[in-house]
Amino acid sequence: MSSELPNQLQGHAARPDRLERQLHFIRELDKLKSVSRRTSLIDRTRLENTAEHSWHLGTMAVTLAEYAPAGADIGRVVEMLLVHDVVEIDAGDTFAFDAAANLDKAERETKAADRLFGLLPDDDGRRIRALWDEFEEGETPTARFANALDRLQGLLMNDAPGDGGTWRIHGVTRSQVFARMAPIQSGAPGLWPVVVDAVERAIRHGHVRDDRV
């Protein structure tokens, strides 16, 4: 049996810290399991954590791929959704309807991205950071679909048990919910009726305040 390494591994063998940097990043990701979000599980037993949220979104992308806009790369959508909230390890989860907390959200998350993706070997760090940047910019069909799913997941969690979830707890209004869900209208228009039905249902049940004039 030959003891020679494949060409790709030969190149990496010259950089003995490469694997350790990758493993260090993977160990750091474990902290996502301890980052609590404001959204509770559908059975309302506890809050979801960011690792669960990211997994849920990746599965949603595979399940709802047929609703993606033309030009979206579903494989890249899944990759994007798996890493888009890694920054919450340092920045924490910022509640969507907390105006004050959102003022410095971009600054906190960019600083977190610099540190966390900087743990990786340079090529890996650039590749994964590019996924994060693309998601944040939301300009490509792939990023628009990823953002749409990110918004939809929260809506489904609030709507499913019929109690309004965080919408009711925090006194959210109709206009606030629709503003938050707006990326779905452009990123996955076929799913927009789900949003409208959920919001109107929440209004009827008194879980979302109707602020239409």
- pTM of this structure: 0.90
3-state secondary structure of 40: strand
Q: Look at residue 16 in the predicted model and tell me its pLDDT.
A: 73
The residue ranges of the chain whose pLDDT is under 50 are 1-6, 14
Write the DSSP assignment of 110-136 as a string of letters: HHHHHHHHTTS-HHHHHHHHHHHHHHH
- Identify the CATH assignment for 16-161 out of 1.10.340.30, 3.30.750.24, 1.10.3210.10, 3.30.479.10: 1.10.3210.10
Q: How far apart are CA 53 and CA 151, in angstroms?
A: 11
Question: Structural domain boundaries of the chain?
Answer: 16-161
